Amino acid sequence: MYDVGNSFSAHLIKLNHTLVMKHTPFCSFGLETSSRARVRLALVLLLSFAALPAMAAESETLIDYQRQIKPLLARHCYACHGPDREGQDNDLRLDRREDAIAFAILPGDPDSSSLLERIETEDEDLRMPPPDTKKPGLNSEEIALLRTWISQDAPFEEHWAHRPPRRVPPASEVRPWSRGPVDHFIVGTQQREGLAPAKTADRRTLIRRLSLDLIGLPPTEEEVAAFLQDQSPGAYQRVVDRLLASPHFGERMAIYWLDLVRYADTGGYHGDNDRNHAPFRDYVVEAFNENLSYDRFMREQLAGDLLPNATRRQKIASGFNRLNMTTREGGAQPKEYMAIYAADRVRNTGSIFLGLTLGCCQCHDHKFDPYTMRDFYSMAAFFADVKETLVGIQKPITLLDQQQTQRVHDLNEVIDAAKTVLAGESELWDREQAAWEKTEKPTTDMGWQQPADILISSDAKTEFEKMQDGSMLALGERSANDTYRIDLPIPKQGLSAFELELLPHASLPRQGPGRAGNGNFVLSEFELWQGDTSLPISAAVASHSQGGWEIEKSIDGDVHTGWAIRPKIGQRLTAYFELAEPLVAGQQGNVQVRLRQLYGSGYVIGRLKLRTTAAAQPLDVLRPRLPYKAVYDVLAKNASQRSVEDAQLVRDHFRRIAPETEAVRKVIQDAAKEKKYIEDAARKVLVTMAAEPRVVRILARGDWQDETGEVVEPAVPESLGSIQATDGGRPGRLDLARWLADPENPLTARVFVNRLWKLMFGRGLVHSLGDFGSQGLPPTHPELLDFLARDFIDSDWDIKQLLRQIVTSSAYRQSSDTTEAQLAEDPENLWLARQGRFRLDAEVVRDNALALSGLLVPAIGGESVRPYQPEGYLAHLNFPPRTYKHDKGENQYRRGLYTFWQRTFLHPAMALFDAPSREECTVERPQSNTPLQALLLLNDPSYVEAARALAVRILQEGGRDDKARLDYLFQRALARNIESAERELLSALLAKHRDYYRQHPEQAEAMGQNGMHQSPAGLDRVELAAWTNAARTVLNLHETITRN
């Protein structure tokens, strides 16, 4: 019935392909009549009831759709036949069974399934995937898998990660090796794969492994010795408990969590300016140390600010929502960045908590997983209430401790009281004010006159309207550049200065007073002419000047400079210009003011008013008073003309300047100063504050300029369920956090458990830590993953309990040594028949060296620190240029976790060992092995200094001879005994370098210059230098930076 073999049909298909739909593979299935599809469907249903169970029973093992088939279809077919329907003009979907069997698959009958036909055909025009998709063709194994699967009725199970985790009993128990459920699952899988567990690692290896895994620091010699000696039962558990209780546990966990949440100390875009987040980092450390349950941990970060009576710490936790990259670049468009920040939060929230790759859905529905653009923007809407600066400085809050808070409160009371006194009734002060006004009065009236016969013209033929107040408003087409010429008769009283007022007006851009788009203008030169003679202007003052565009630049004779007024747009401004030689009273004739405006294009004045005076040297009086122009304008009025506001203005001013009020003012000043001091010294942090939610629309193709998209409300991806707000209103961040922690959420616990497993084994049970979708890898141990996830939820999300369960297993305690046979059998260690082995994280490479040397300052928390860094490393930063000053005191020797995290130029000691810049959520760091790492460990002053300090300890504590000292070095650095071959190599090095430094004592001395640490005076410098090189050698060993 299903006639793909029919030549006519094939012909049609081919024709269709070549003529019509070049880019739509499988579109030919659309040729099928719908009635034929219905008939076929009926047949399928019949078959599935009757024939298939028998077929399945007799065939080979059942094909696992999720593990074996879906990834294959996703890789080869979904690009055109997957969930994303955008731009696909074919009807075939291979991600849903009902669609697949309607067109391409006949369950139970591979030979009649056109899917296989089209994949296997020799006809290049028909073969799938078509060559122009550049997708690799399917190989014979893959085709065979598809064939078997179809013959097994082509079941489509739900994606494993979308089913809630469920407990299933472990397959087998092997005692005594197996210590608990974790081991039962692992050994069961090993048996299936024909493997056996590795031997248990020796105790030295175990305690080093546990220490590095749980606190990110090596064990001390004393800790190693104590563990070796403790033969009583529970010795191992006691080490585990000690480490989980250590304050360094939180630091170690934070290293990973901060990668996920993209914690950094700077904004990341453009000038990469500093931001205030360190208290958030400290919160994370504390939360892990206190074993805050994971559901609470998520809730406080996503919505700590929304919790009832949110504590200070919960507010700090909410800084999570502010960790995205931000820009301050001039010219960045706020709306664009609003879209960028929103998308960032969706991508990262998806990655951090759910292992989802939602990023695709910013522009189109997901190609492989059931997520849509609507899901993406609905997720964004959860964060639409986060208050932030779209382009500019992100403003932190100030963190005060209890004592500081009390003091600031007291100071505020003092300030308020003193202000009340200062503003209050006082006959004495009023009397003083009256006397003061009398002394000021004579100079307030300089006899400013508005010239009557004024004539204004413009070089660019600009027209003016003379307003009622005597001001002139420019009309019509704006010229690029212009010179206004104002002719006036010389006033009878004479002329000593001009007052130029610039006034706002509704017709001007942004109310003016300039005509440029931003309301500004540039007065290149103010000139005064009498006939052909230029009358020099000696001084100018203005009520306000733009930085770099001071009023003096309008009288400097240079037309390339000038006076401008940003940001005082839309306001009245005044400038005064004083003649070098006043024109005395009684002179006849005219003068001409020229306002030359030659800057750029269109920076011309919109509305102006001109007045004159003959008072002698008026600027001497005006200059100090100009800031209080309003006050002096009132003083110039008669008492009867003054309004209530006028009187208040003068009184306030007087009390601000009068010697009689100084004592009260000093009280205010001192209190304010102390308050500022307290607040400046206090820590700052960015937190989330909720505002009215912004409107969130679906942006077609992710285009932020498109404002036609549908408005969406907060919602989780539809395929994962739905959220109802507790109060029935608009769901918010708190509801999102609750939904994440729902015991039936299939992703949250699995994703987190898997990541902790990765930290303890070097590989997740789901290898793709960041992708729990169909393109990720399925779990190697699905039952174990589900067991751990379910257990984690049932333990109320107890993180330490989860880790305890993992690290006390026999699986964890296996040796990581490998034989060639093991490598051949299971190169990737999928089945965990040995422990993992991996390089320490960048921070821990540093911490380890500092701890071994004794230089480590183990303080917890605080502002970020600055280790030594090559000079000029930040030379590419600007706005402002950055100079790096490494810390001088104890902060030089803090753990790597506290390194100042400069996103654009991460400290090289971090970056070279694969620490991420934290611009995006990083679920897994790469493990690179590069020559630059070698150069760093060999030559970075931090490591040379650590080697030097280690050498000091060797000489002081390591015994009397080379043998004892080498023993000590290996015990301390590697927690193991040195072997004779190793001893021989290091002895040879020591012998040679002793000779060398004996002959070159200045070199031995120079060795002490690496780093600030002072070696004790009494030590033999030659011996110290030789041992420093021995210590450098050990700090450079692969083993030293490897967790075995």
Which residues in 483-512 contact another protein (CB under 8 A)?
Answer: 509-510
Q: Radius of gyration over alpha carbons of the chain, in Å?
A: 39
Q: Segment near another protein (CB under 8 A), from 224-232, 409-417, 633-641, 911-919? A: 911-919
Residue 4 binds another protein, judged by CB under 8 A: no
Residue 841 binds another protein, judged by CB under 8 A: no
Q: What angle do CA 320, 325, 326 make, to 5 degrees?
A: 110
Give the whole-angstrom CA distance, residue 671 versus residue 412: 8
Give the whole-angstrom CA distance, residue 983 versus residue 993: 15
Residue 559 binds another protein, judged by CB under 8 A: no
Q: How far is the CB of 212 from another protein (least distance, A)?
A: 16
Q: Segment near another protein (CB under 8 A), from 172-180, 187-195, 538-546, 812-820? A: 812-820
The residue type found at 765 is L
Instruction: Look at the block and give the residue holding tokens 């919109």.
Output: 606
Of 600 and 743, which has the nearer Cβ to another protein? Answer: 600
Distances (CA, A) of 707 to 51, 346, 385, 695, 696: 55, 20, 19, 11, 10
Of 625 and 837, which has the nearer Cβ to another protein? Answer: 837
Q: How far is the CB of 603 from another protein (least distance, A)?
A: 7
Site string for another protein, 340-379 (x = CB under 8 A): -----------------x-xx------xx-----------
Of 396 and 509, which has the nearer Cβ to another protein? Answer: 509
The torsion angle over the Cα atoms of residues 634, 640, 645 and 650, rounded to 10 degrees, is: 40
Residue 272 binds another protein, judged by CB under 8 A: yes
Residue 679 binds another protein, judged by CB under 8 A: no
Of 675 and 1032, which has the nearer Cβ to another protein? Answer: 1032
CB 6 within 8 A of CB 71: no
Q: How far is the CB of 460 from another protein (least distance, A)?
A: 10
Residue 985 binds another protein, judged by CB under 8 A: yes
Give the whole-angstrom CA distance, residue 877 versus residue 107: 62
Among 3, 89, 158, 329, binds another protein (CB under 8 A): 329
Q: Segment near another protein (CB under 8 A), from 246-254, 305-313, 842-850, 990-998? A: 990-998
Q: Which of 455, 427, 617 is nearest to 541 (CA)?
A: 617
Q: Segment near another protein (CB under 8 A), from 216-224, 538-546, 669-677, 927-935? A: 927-935
Of 404 and 768, which has the nearer Cβ to another protein? Answer: 768
Residue 83 binds another protein, judged by CB under 8 A: no
Q: Segment near another protein (CB under 8 A), from 211-219, 301-309, 441-449, 818-826? A: 818-826
How many residues touch another protein under the rule CB under 8 A: the total is 119
- Count other C-beta atoms under 10 Å from residue 706's C-beta: 13
The residue type found at 600 is G
Give the whole-angstrom CA distance, residue 886 versus residue 373: 46
Residue 404 binds another protein, judged by CB under 8 A: no
Q: How far is the CB of 600 from another protein (least distance, A)?
A: 3
The residue type found at 122 is E
The torsion angle over the Cα atoms of residues 808, 795, 281 and 303, rounded to 10 degrees, is: 160
Residue 431 binds another protein, judged by CB under 8 A: no
Query: Counting runs of H as helices and runs of E as strands, what totals does the chain give?
Result: 37, 15
Contacts of 635 (CB under 8 A, 6+ apart): 437, 440, 441, 444, 650
Q: How far is the CB of 478 from another protein (least distance, A)?
A: 7
Give the whole-angstrom CA distance, residue 385 versus residue 390: 13
Q: Segment near another protein (CB under 8 A), from 56-64, 404-412, 644-652, 774-782? A: 774-782
Of 961 and 979, which has the nearer Cβ to another protein? Answer: 979
Q: DSSP letter for 68, please.
A: I
Of 452 and 981, which has the nearer Cβ to another protein? Answer: 981
CB 103 within 8 A of CB 163: no
**Buried-state track 70-92, b at ≥16 Cβ within 10 A, e below 16:** bbbbbbbbbbbbbbbeeebebbb
Q: Which of 254, 263, 251, 282 is nearest to 348 (CA)?
A: 263
Q: How far is the CB of 250 from another protein (least distance, A)?
A: 27
Q: How far is the CB of 112 from another protein (least distance, A)?
A: 32
CB 772 within 8 A of CB 354: yes
Residue 823 binds another protein, judged by CB under 8 A: yes
Site for another protein in 573-612 (CB under 8 A): 599-603
Of 639 and 824, which has the nearer Cβ to another protein? Answer: 824
Q: Segment near another protein (CB under 8 A), from 181-189, 190-198, 216-224, 899-907? A: 899-907
Q: Segment near another protein (CB under 8 A), from 47-55, 207-215, 279-287, 937-945? A: 937-945
Q: Segment near another protein (CB under 8 A), from 228-236, 513-521, 639-647, 649-657? A: 513-521
Among 225, 580, 616, 1037, binds another protein (CB under 8 A): 1037
In what helix (H) or strand (E) does residue 784 lie, and over which residues does it extend? Answer: helix 782-794
Site string for another protein, 864-893 (x = CB under 8 A): ------xxxx-xxxxx--------------
Q: What is the DSSP string of 168-200?
A: ---S---TTT--SHHHHHHHHHHHHTT--PPPB
Site for another protein in 704-723 (CB under 8 A): 705
Give the whole-angstrom CA distance, residue 108 versus residue 149: 8
Of 358 and 802, which has the nearer Cβ to another protein? Answer: 358
Of 578 and 940, which has the nearer Cβ to another protein? Answer: 940
Site for another protein in 996-1015 (CB under 8 A): 996, 1000, 1003-1010
Residue 68 binds another protein, judged by CB under 8 A: no
Residue 797 binds another protein, judged by CB under 8 A: no
Of 628 and 873, which has the nearer Cβ to another protein? Answer: 873
Q: Segment near another protein (CB under 8 A), from 414-422, 649-657, 692-700, 993-1001? A: 993-1001
Residue 700 binds another protein, judged by CB under 8 A: no
Give the whole-angstrom CA distance, residue 873 versus residue 911: 12
Instruction: Look at the block and give the residue holding tokens 């997957």.
Output: 82
Distances (CA, A) of 644 to 420, 572, 631, 633, 640: 19, 22, 13, 14, 11
Among 928, 956, 959, 964, binds another protein (CB under 8 A): 928
- Mutual angle of helices 941-957 and 962-974, in 10-degree steps: 130
Among 15, 31, 54, 480, binds another protein (CB under 8 A): 480
Of 602 and 861, which has the nearer Cβ to another protein? Answer: 602
Q: Segment near another protein (CB under 8 A), from 266-274, 294-302, 499-507, 753-761? A: 266-274
Residue 906 binds another protein, judged by CB under 8 A: yes
Residue 903 binds another protein, judged by CB under 8 A: yes
> Which residues pair with residue 583 across a beta bridge?
495
Instruction: Look at the block and give the residue holding tokens 């609003």.
Output: 338
Q: How far is the CB of 197 from another protein (least distance, A)?
A: 17
Q: DSSP letter for 530, please.
A: E
- 483 backbone dihedrals φ, ψ, rounded to 5°: -130, 120
CB 795 within 8 A of CB 801: yes
Residue 988 binds another protein, judged by CB under 8 A: yes
CB 993 within 8 A of CB 1026: yes
Of 254 and 391, which has the nearer Cβ to another protein? Answer: 391
Residue 549 binds another protein, judged by CB under 8 A: no
